[in-house]
Amino acid sequence: MTKRELVIEVAERLGYTQNEVASVVQATLDAITESLAAGQRLEIRNFGVFEVRTRDARIGRNPRTGEEVPIEQKSVATFKPGKALKECVQQGKPTDTPAQRPPESAPSPIAPSMARPEPEVVSPQPIPENPWARETEE
């Protein structure tokens, strides 16, 4: 599943527009990326844990020549699935509690003082084919 397909799926399930969902998905990915870039561990209960681990320097081999090549120490992002996710994957079925759009009368999960103002939509932008690409204004 691509990011675009994820946006379409969530929009259909919850009844939001694809642009609304795309904004939330991108903001979520940005927050995860920023957290990992800062070296923080990010845990999503019943889903899994994202964290940064350090791979030690080692000697590798060039597969074409067989020559030994030094590989420097580096940081890598890792993901460890949670128990509920592991069980869903093993059983080959989705969770028992699919996400639903909250009723209009439900209180907002964000306090009004913390909510961001609604962005002004000039024209709808298509979702880029590359899920990590961002268009910049020139």
Domain residue limits, the chain: 1-38, 40-94
Q: What is the pLDDT of residue 24?
A: 96
Average pLDDT over residues 37-56: 94
Distance from C-alpha of 128 to C-alpha of 3, rounded to nearest angstrom: 10
Average pLDDT over residues 9-18: 94
40-94, CATH topology level? HU Protein; Chain A (4.10.520)
Where is pLDDT greater, at 129 or 16? 16
Ramachandran class of 13: left when φ > 0, alpha when ψ lies in -120 to 50, beta otherwise? alpha
Q: What is the pLDDT of residue 127?
A: 56
Question: Within 13 A of 122's CA, how many CA atoms are on the CB side?
Answer: 1
- Chain mean position to CA 135: 19
Q: What is the pLDDT of residue 106?
A: 59
Q: What is the pLDDT of residue 138?
A: 46
Distance from C-alpha of 107 to C-alpha of 100, rounded to nearest angstrom: 15
Neighbours of 38 (CB within 10 A): 8
Q: What is the pLDDT of residue 49?
A: 97
